[in-house]
Amino acid sequence: MGSTKKHTHLRRQTFVAKRGEIAKQWRIVDASDQRLGRMATEIATVLMGKHRPEYTPHVDCGDFVIVTNASKVALSGRKAEQKLRLTYSGYPGGQSAESYGNLRDRKPELLIEEAVRRMLPKSRLGRQMLKKLKVYAGEDHPHTGVNAIAL
């Protein structure tokens, strides 16, 4: 018969990150002529921390992300005219629709924030991750003192 002794010295322990253990970095993205959805998936991945080997699902391991030139983001096909952002006030007849092209001209930060928000977890942790996203319509941003790495 075989040995019943377990070889515990051969097992590897899974690394579990704890809150405050991981140093957060700053990343910067230039949204000029980038597709909205493709860019949003990369940003959501970095905000969640899935780009790190020490990723832990229940801990915020992600980095801060600065997005500049949000007003120059590209929408593929005819999404600028055809795709609509629907909002509802809660009152009868309170639904309003706005095209993505009009939203990009009026409030480009909101367009990118919503695209990224929908890709993050729908929980307290997801809302905490979204606070690390900083979106600016133009080239200038107030985070000049930070050493931001290009995404």
Q: Which pair of tokens denotes residue 106?
A: 């009026």
Q: What is the pLDDT of residue 151?
A: 87
Domain boundaries, the chain: 21-75+108-150
* Rounded-to-integer distance, Cα 127 and Cα 123, Å: 6
**End-to-end Cα, the chain, rounded Å:** 57
Q: Are β-strands 26-30 and 64-68 bridged in parallel, bridged antiparallel, or unpaired?
A: parallel
* Domain 21-75+108-150 class in CATH: alpha beta
Decide if pLDDT at 9 tops 80.
no
With beta carbons less than 8 A apart as the criterion, state whether 56 and 47 touch.
no
- Could you tell me which of 70, 45, 63, 68 has the C-alpha nearest to residue 121? 45
Q: What is the pLDDT of residues 52-99, one digit of tens each?
A: 999 999 999 999 999 999 999 999 999 999 999 999 999 999 999 999
With beta carbons less than 8 A apart as the criterion, state whether 80 and 100 touch.
yes
> 10: number of CA atoms within 13 Å, CB side?
3
Q: What is the pLDDT of residues 20-65, one digit of tens each?
A: 889 999 999 999 999 999 999 999 999 999 999 999 999 999 999 9
